[in-house]
Each structure stands twice: as C-alpha cells, then as structure tokens.
Amino acid sequence: MLVTINTHGKVTEVDPAFRLSPKYKDLLSKTLSAMIKTPAREHGKPVTSQLLMSMQLKAEANPDGNYAVHFAYVNSKQMPTGSWYWVHTSQHQLRLANRYATGSPTVSFGGPLQLPSSTSLPITSSR
C-alpha cells in the first residue's frame, strides 16, 4: 500500500494496491496511525513523504472460538520525492506513477505487478 505522512507525522492517506472492505481499510488506517508518529526529515526539517508498505493480516483464535485480527508490519520502502499513485494498465498490471514527473505522466516506479483476475482482496499482498 502507499502511505502518505504529513509534516506533523500524521498518516493522511492510505492507498492500498487492491480494494479493501471498509472494515479492513479502517483497521489498517488505525494500525498505521498508531505505528507512525514522526515525519520524514530532509536537511533537518520535517517534510511530507510517502512509503510503499507491506502489511500482513493476522488472525488469532480467542478462547470463545472467535478470532481477533490485526495488521502486522512486513516491510516498507521510502518513495522518491513526488506524488505517487497506483495505475492499473490495460495489460492488467499495477504500477506506481508520479503526478509530478517531468515528461510522460506515466513514468513508473519499479516493474509491473500482475493483477489476479479478481482485484477485490481482503488483504494487501507483499511485494
């Protein structure tokens, strides 16, 4: 997922690569807000930043037979300067593109990610 953090260290946007149900997206947003409390810094000054982050949904059985679920951190990568967003290509691939890239507006970051036939998944996938 793509996570945007403002200059105050607050998570301002969570953009999963795949559609999440509202309950899972809310749980994910709350988890990320609890994890991230400080902004990125450039030359000692706080800056808005974006992370490409992988999280895993974990379920644990309760004694009553129900399950407690939570998202757990897997890994993350700082995105280069810009305003990044997901692009679904006509070849059913997923790419990140920078809104402020010079030249082509479809300048992408990294290789394509092949999408499954159904893009409505309950959790994000690791990359």
Euclidean distance between CA atoms 30 and 41, whole angstroms = 23
Reported pTM: 0.75
What's the pLDDT at 4? 96
Q: What are phi and psi of 42, to 5 degrees?
A: -130, 120
Low-confidence ranges of the chain (pLDDT < 70): 101-127
What's the pLDDT at 101? 67
Q: What are phi and psi of 32, to 5 degrees?
A: -65, -40
Residue 120 has what DSSP assignment?
Answer: B
Name the residue type at position 82. Answer: G
CA 109 to chain CA mean position, Å = 14
